């Protein structure tokens, strides 16, 4: 479908694309914050379980360095613990790893959007005006 007919000019189309990309980046950033918060809660739960079972807490510390965020695994010294406790910990680890993968994918998508649409948050108001996305632009028609 040729969507060039939706815009009055190439400039308006590009500004609209930048505005939409900026909104998408902001949404993805909020999702990242939520995922990081969930990882911290889950790792804290694992550490609480470890303390209850007379092991040293360690997972919150492992995940505290978000720059090096990578999938985690059950530590060797925990492989022989009670199977019920082990199952709960492994479930939390799977949840954490799912969130780690989502974070990595979202970071890649954010980088691609910023590169493709040359997003400049300082020019967002200008782009909104060029894209005719102000309330007055919709009311005057």
Q: Are 90 and 74 in contact (CB under 8 A)?
A: yes
pTM of the model: 0.83
Q: Are 49 and 88 in contact (CB under 8 A)?
A: yes
Distance CA(112)–CA(106), nearest Å, equals 10
Distance CA(59)–CA(40), nearest Å, equals 9
The two three-digit tokens of residue 16, written as one number: 């609209």
pLDDT, position 3: 64
What are the tens digits of pLDDT across the range 43-100? 999 999 999 999 999 998 888 766 778 899 999 999 999 999 999 999 999 999 999 9
């Amino acid at each position: 479908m040729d969507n060039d007919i939706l815009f009055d000019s190439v400039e308006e189309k590009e500004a609209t694309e930048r505005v939409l990309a900026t909104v998408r980046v902001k949404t993805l950033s909020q999702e990242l914050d939520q995922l990081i918060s969930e990882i911290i809660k889950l790792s804290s739960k694992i550490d609480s379980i470890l303390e209850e079972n007379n092991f040293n807490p360690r997972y919150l510390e492992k995940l505290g360095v978000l720059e090096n965020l990578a999938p985690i695994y059950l530590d060797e010294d925990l492989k022989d613990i009670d199977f019920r406790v082990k199952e709960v910990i492994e479930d939390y680890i799977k949840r954490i790893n799912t969130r780690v993968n989502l974070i990595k994918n979202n970071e890649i998508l954010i980088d691609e959007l910023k590169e493709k649409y040359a997003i400049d948050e300082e020019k967002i108001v200008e782009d909104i005006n060029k894209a005719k996305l102000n309330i007055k632009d919709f009311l005057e028609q």
